[in-house]
């Protein structure tokens, strides 16, 4: 089959590789019908994530048609169309039983690698390095889905791939970021970073009862997309972000502040973090500019929610401000499995049309160009969908 493989820094290829096989009774094999390039794939592309090996198949956002199931998979049959969460979860461990599937204890077969850094390992992910499980991704014609009796959700008839593909990651990720803010209705939510996750956070904030949303970014196209959803926008490079937010909130500050930027925008490398952990130093690793601003702009007793990825130590983290204002912090990888039915219903009932985020479409064989384009002009590209 054809698959997008990692070949080293700034190098991917569309290669011919062996078809995946059922390895365990709970596996299924999908014929992929749509897959996306994610912002976090660029960290692999840029060589920032350790434990990648030449030939690793990329892609954690994909959907497709079931072509084969293992003996223990009774909920799926050949021909079912399914969408698959980016994180892999067993469904039965301490965390999975609580719906906290991104913390699954059983899916990362290389957990020891992450345990060295964090003490514990989160769930494995498709196509995202050996330290996060070493599972082949879905930027391919076929993919093996472990724990297929737990992850994949059947797509109702009549719904297109474009409508449901973002349930794999960015829609639930934006939604959980807002859900974590525990809105009661009528709040002002401020969102830093208007990439794909930020765009879904903005729309989810309205779905969950926010009265107004303030979107902060420095890319004109992204701010325009935020305005189309009804957000008031502020240019992140504006030195008066704090003052502007106060003027929009009667001087009180935003009720909830969401950091969809994370360390990612600053190109901080995970391997550097590993090195620093090894050296047992306590130097800063991540550059939390957006997070600092989010903390400053949050009203007293408000919530700061962080879907943006952080990996190491934070320098000049305004913990005094956070304590003084009595802030609540929520963060972490998305429990995609938990949100699928609810978000599917939002799409089916017309409360959101996720296709707004698609800016580019290509065939899988053009993936090399897709990665180059995304990497060189992030501003123009919000979401790339690939069709095998
Ligand atoms: Zn993603
Ligand atoms: Zn589990």
Of residues 381 and 90, more confidently modeled:
90
Q: What is the pLDDT of residues 256-285, one digit of tens each?
A: 999 998 765 443 445 445 544 444 444 445
How far, in Å, from the CA of 326 to the mean position of ligand 1?
A: 32
- At residue 288, the pLDDT reads 66
CA dist 285 → 36, 279, 316 (Å): 29, 13, 11
Helix residue ranges, H only, the chain: 41-45, 94-97, 111-118, 161-164, 170-179, 196-207, 220-228, 241-248, 270-278, 289-297, 319-325, 336-348, 367-376
Q: What is the pLDDT of residues 330-350, one digit of tens each?
A: 999 999 999 999 999 999 999
Average pLDDT (50-65) is 96
Which candidate, 357, 85, 385, places its Cα nearest to that of 221?
357
Which pair of tokens denotes residue 310? Answer: 């952080």
Overall pTM surpassing 0.85 (yes/no): yes
Residues with CB under 5 A from ligand 1 (ion): 38, 169
The answer on pLDDT for 382 being more than 90 is no
Phi and psi, residue 295, nearest 5°? -65, -45
Average pLDDT (240-264) is 91
- Are the C-beta atoms of residues 205 and 213 closer than 8 Å to each other? yes
Q: Which ligand is nearest to the CA of 172?
A: 1
Q: What is the pLDDT of residues 161-188, one digit of tens each?
A: 999 999 999 999 999 999 999 999 999 9
Which pair of tokens denotes residue 218? Answer: 């420095």
Q: What is the pLDDT of residues 289-330, one digit of tens each?
A: 788 899 999 999 999 999 987 776 777 788 999 999 999 999
- At residue 359, the pLDDT reads 92
How far, in Å, from the CA of 88 to the mean position of ligand 2?
A: 8
Q: Round the average pLDDT of the chain to a whole number and report it.
A: 91
- At residue 310, the pLDDT reads 75
How far, in Å, from the CA of 86 to the mean position of ligand 2?
A: 14
- At residue 287, the pLDDT reads 55
How far, in Å, from the CA of 91 to the mean position of ligand 2?
A: 5
Q: What is the pLDDT of residues 198-236, one digit of tens each?
A: 999 999 999 999 999 999 998 899 999 999 999 999 998
């Amino acid at each position: 089959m054809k698959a997008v493989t990692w070949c080293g820094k700034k190098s991917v290829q569309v290669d011919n590789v062996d078809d995946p096989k059922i390895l365990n009774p709970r596996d299924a094999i999908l014929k992929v019908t749509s897959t996306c390039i994610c912002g976090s794939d660029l960290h692999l592309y840029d060589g920032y994530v350790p434990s990648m090996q030449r030939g690793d198949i990329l892609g954690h956002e994909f959907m497709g048609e079931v072509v084969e199931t293992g003996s223990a998979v009774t909920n799926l049959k050949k021909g079912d169309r399914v969408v698959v969460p980016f994180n892999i979860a067993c469904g039965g461990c301490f965390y999975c039983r609580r719906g906290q599937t991104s913390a699954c204890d059983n899916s990362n077969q290389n957990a020891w690698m992450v345990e060295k850094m964090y003490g514990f390992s989160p769930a494995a992910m498709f196509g995202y390095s050996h330290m996060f499980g070493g599972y082949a991704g879905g930027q391919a014609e076929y993919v093996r889905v472990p724990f297929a009796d737990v992850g994949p959700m059947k797509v109702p008839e009549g719904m297109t791939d474009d409508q449901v593909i973002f349930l794999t990651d960015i829609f639930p990720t934006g939604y959980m970021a807002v859900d974590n803010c525990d809105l009661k209705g009528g709040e002002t939510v401020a969102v830093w970073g208007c990439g794909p996750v930020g765009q879904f956070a903005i729309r989810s904030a309205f779905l969950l009862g926010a009265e107004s949303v303030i979107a902060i970014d420095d890319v004109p196209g992204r701010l325009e997309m935020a305005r189309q959803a009804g957000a008031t926008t502020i240019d992140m490079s504006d030195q008066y972000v704090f003052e502007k937010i106060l003027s929009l909130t009667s001087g009180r500050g935003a009720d909830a502040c969401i950091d969809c930027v994370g360390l990612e925008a600053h190109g901080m490398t995970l391997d550097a973090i590993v090195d620093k952990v090894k050296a047992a130093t306590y130097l800063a690793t991540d550059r939390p500019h957006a997070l600092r601003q989010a903390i400053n702009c949050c009203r007293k007793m408000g919530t700061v929610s962080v879907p943006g990825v952080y990996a190491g130590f934070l320098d000049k983290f305004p913990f005094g401000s956070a304590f003084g204002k009595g802030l609540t912090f929520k963060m972490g990888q998305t429990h995609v499995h938990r949100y699928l039915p609810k978000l599917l219903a939002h799409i089916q009932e017309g409360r959101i049309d996720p296709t707004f985020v698609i800016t580019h479409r290509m065939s899988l064989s053009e993936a090399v160009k897709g990665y180059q384009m995304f990497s060189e002009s992030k501003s123009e590209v919000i979401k790339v969908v690939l069709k095998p």
